Amino acid sequence: MEERLQKILSRAGVSSRRAAEKMIAEGRISVNRTVVVERERKADPGKDEIRLDGRLISLETERIYLMLHKPKGYVTTLSDPQGRPIVTDLLNGVAARVYPVGRLDYDSEGLLILSNDGEFAQRLQHPRYRIPKTYRVKVEGHLLKGSLRPWKMGSTFPTADLHRPRFISKRPIPGAPGLPSRSPMEETV
């Protein structure tokens, strides 16, 4: 069955869909030995010969799913123009190309999933699949009554419509160590 090349490349673990679009525009992708530069191009991975820089792409690669505790001081990306440490620097013995599924800030720590399965990553991250995410945070001071109201109202981004979280709850984390000036909280968005 035909599908867009970006999706095929993502499922093969070659790149993200956005990076695949760039590779197509650069003329690095060929289908049946013909270079493709149109973003809309479709192919059938079961019938067509798809190549990146002359190397055959296969969807029959082993799927890898890793859980990593990302410490503070690492960037959740595969390359950083500022030269900071990246999360894949923490992986030893993983020869396959895996990429982060989601993001954690440079100063954040916690569970990060890495995989070479583009469809899995898309399903976890895209809002249309409504996968709830729970964040445990420590806030400076104590949350005052009504302080979550702006979060519940949502945010407007210049390139998108209003985004409202489906649900926000605030509760203390049982048994979590706290500091006098910091309250451990759990929020489900």
Residue of 80, 105, 117, 161 marked active site: 105
Name the CA dihedral angle for 14, 18, 20, 24, rounded to a multiple of 10 degrees. -170
Closest to 105 measured CA to CA, from 135, 80, 129, 72: 72
Question: Could you confirm whether 44 is annotated as catalytic?
Answer: no
Query: Which residues is 184 bridged to in the sheet?
Result: 138
Burial class (CB in 10 A: 0-12, 13-18, 19+), 159: exposed
Burial class (CB in 10 A: 0-12, 13-18, 19+), 184: middle
Please report where in the chains the tokens 């525009």 appear, as a residue: 25
Residues with a catalytic annotation lie at 105
